[in-house]
Structure 1
Amino acid sequence: MRNAFISGLVKLAETNNDIFLLTGDLGFGVLDEFIEKFPNRYINTGIAEQNMASVAAGLAMNGKIVFIYSIANFPTMRCLEQIRNDIAYHNANVKIVTVGGGFAYGPAGITHHGTEDLAIMRVIPNMNIFIPCDPISAKQAAKDVCNIKGPCYVRLERGGEPIVFALDKEFHLGSLSRLKKGSKFAIISVGSVINEVLEASYQLKHDFNLDVSVYSIYTLKPINAEQVLDIASKHDCIITVEEHNIIGGVGSVICEIVAGSDVSAKVIRLGLKDEFSSVVGSQQYLRKVYGLSSESIESKVKEVIIK
């Protein structure tokens, strides 16, 4: 996913001299093509993410489109004050790109788990939030954030994620993409955990002859509230799945929209409970531990059916 995003960024930079890329002393290998082609538009600020955010804001104030790139929590939580005051307050044209969303850096422990970022970025005015789920949507995200004048947050994962969408798929800001059509139950998710959701949906069909609708969210902010309500009106229950704290993320967004309407669909949130992960391990292992594997998702839907 990260390689597809940077590949898309390189192509954009070939025709737009205002695109700059800053990194916090990482991305070696991934960023090489950009560095080689545009050495004068690349800055390694070192392990100084707060300074990187402020430098990015300064460049943006001078007409540049600036991308900052680092791992999971570092370009968000470590420099939140700079994002709020230097970037978002001035509606600066800075794109905050994180690699390692959710449990992608699971073996590194809680310091590298990106499980509160969506909630934090959501409450910052002027911030747009992109959450690609595969290389196709990641490459499109590079183009879309360039076309938005103002701050954007892009949540990527490490790489190797399966392709979900067709090459000619069109993405629209705010819209949810339907991957499977069903009835009664709809599952809404973000990021590569959508692959666990899809696998669970296939098993539900096999085990219970139950067709479950599956939707992927491309942009969490903005989000098409009318489309969410349309989905809610056509299903008895919506289940949200996210590699993120259940507070403030995708589940909260859907609940907020449904609660402000006369739609009666029930919403069930699957994600990390209000706790830190004290477990280390691969992304797949942590999904099993915290109920985000395909088996866990199928079990939750089964539980709802029985009730």
Structure 2
Amino acid sequence: MAETARVFTKANYTRAMGRDEVTGTRPTVDAPFGHALAALGAERGDIVGLTADLGKYTDILPFRDAFPSRFFNVGMAEQNLIAAAAGLARTGFTPFATTYGVFASRRAYDFIAIACAHSAVPVKIIAGLPGLTTGYGGTHQAIEDLGIMRLVPGLVVIDPCDATEIAAATRAAAAHDGPVYMRLLRGKVPVVFAPDGFDFAIGKARLVRGGSDVGIVSTGFMTERAIDAADALAAKGIAAGVLHMPCLKPFDAEAVVNFAGKVKRLVTAENHVVSGGLATLVAETLFEAGITRPLTRIGLPDRFIECGAVPTLQKRYRITADDIAAAATGGNA
């Protein structure tokens, strides 16, 4: 993978990366998924790549360039994309099929449920533009895909945090004997977790930091914001823990129960509507364990989001680090 911001050494890293003291930003990696898939392709001849005319915009081009005979563009036909991938999986291949999350979850849902999950074939669906990461409006913003996909029996659902986790989750998905739906952060993706010694296991949470006052349970890129919020809270004398949940299915309920038992209140943070995704899973887990904690949900409302500049929309819909920090203290951002 091409590391673009600075040279990485072990001295640069903690469990969760801090911001660069000069630029104020985290380092980034360009197209971590595509490079991870290309590396897998060099190791395994069964890995094939497919896209529904979105190769450039789902970062699969490094694989295409390395293995053109194992890459297929089916055009703007997402149902055909999944059907073709399922067929390849039935003949001994491990297909990675890329498109936008809205098109996979809305247009190709039945094909994912029946051709992939019901048939238990190892198709890996890589879903771009997760949640509120584009200004293209409701037609392209996959704000309910996690809730939809976690209801499919036998389908692993992953929402990775950063470049490190995307690369590791790509390998884990390839090794998993079954279908996987993974959200994709593309382009220059921030590095939040140290790559040296990083371990990703399907169905396992990651305790980023402990805390005694408030616990933030987060998934996807909201974990980066949860870490920043915890830093801001620490400066005010508030001990905020962060539990990263990269897998919505299977869900690490035990980790949530253990985490909740050590804090006074909880905040969930997700780049998704607050119903059906992470917040719902956490609430269900607490209820089943008989644990009562004040719970504030940070996420998107039950409505289609308009077009606009992404930073403006994210601020309007209150999914920033400041909003998480405010929720952790029971206040408003």
Q: TM-score range by the shorter chain?
A: over 0.9
- The farther-off stretch of 143-152 and 179-188 is 179-188
Separation in 2, partners of 1:231, 1:302: 18
CA RMSD of aligned residues (A): 1.7
- The equivalences for 1:123-272 within 5 A come to 123-168=151-196, 169-206=198-235, 208-272=236-300
Secondary structure of the structure 2 residue equivalent to 1:73: helix
Separation in 2, partners of 1:212, 1:61: 47
Q: Which residue of 2 aligns with 1:298?
A: 325
Separation in 2, partners of 1:282, 1:197: 22
Query: What amino acid is the match of 1:50?
Result: Q
Report how far residue 204 of structure 1 moved: 1.7
Which of residues 32, 53, 59 in structure 2 aligns to 1:25?
53
Q: Which residue of 1 aligns with 2:118?
A: 89
Query: What amino acid is the match of 2:254?
Result: E
Work out whether residues 132 and 142 of structure 2, in 8 Å CA contact, stay in contact via their aligned partners in 1: yes
Work out whether residues 6 and 31 of structure 1, in 8 Å CA contact, stay in contact via their aligned partners in 2: yes
Report how far residue 160 of structure 1 moved: 2.6
Separation in 2, partners of 1:109, 1:217: 27
Separation in 2, partners of 1:18, 1:205: 48
- The farther-off stretch of 136-145 and 193-202 is 193-202
Distance 1:97 1:56, change over 3 A: same
Deviations, residues 129-171 of structure 1 (Å, cap 9, x unaligned): 1111110000001100011111100101233332111112212
Mapped pair 1:101 → 2:130: yes
Secondary structure of the structure 2 residue equivalent to 1:235: coil
Deviations, residues 46-90 of structure 1 (Å, cap 9, x unaligned): 000011111111111111111110123112211111111111110
Work out whether residues 2 and 99 of structure 1, in 8 Å CA contact, stay in contact via their aligned partners in 2: no
Deviations, residues 11-49 of structure 1 (Å, cap 9, x unaligned): 111121111111011123833331222122111000000
In structure 1, runs of 5+ residues without a counterpart are none
Report how far residue 298 of structure 1 moved: 1.9
Query: What amino acid is the match of 2:243?
Result: Y
Query: What amino acid is the match of 1:19?
Result: I
Query: What amino acid is the match of 2:207?
Result: R
Separation in 1, partners of 2:261, 2:284: 15
Query: What amino acid is the match of 1:152?
Result: V
What percentage of residue pairs aligned between the two structures are identical? 31
Q: Which residue of 2 aligns with 1:112?
A: 140
In structure 2, runs of 5+ residues without a counterpart are 1-28
Query: What amino acid is the match of 1:60?
Result: A
Q: Which residue of 1 aligns with 2:96?
A: 67
Q: Which residue of 2 aligns with 1:285?
A: 312
**Which structure is higher in helix share?**
1
Report how far residue 175 of structure 1 moved: 2.0
Which of residues 76, 90, 115 in structure 2 aligns to 1:47?
76
Report how far residue 304 of structure 1 moved: 6.0
Normalising by structure 2, report the TM-score: 0.86
Query: What amino acid is the match of 1:261?
Result: A
Work out whether residues 260 and 266 of structure 2, in 8 Å CA contact, stay in contact via their aligned partners in 1: yes
- The farther-off stretch of 169-178 and 210-219 is 169-178
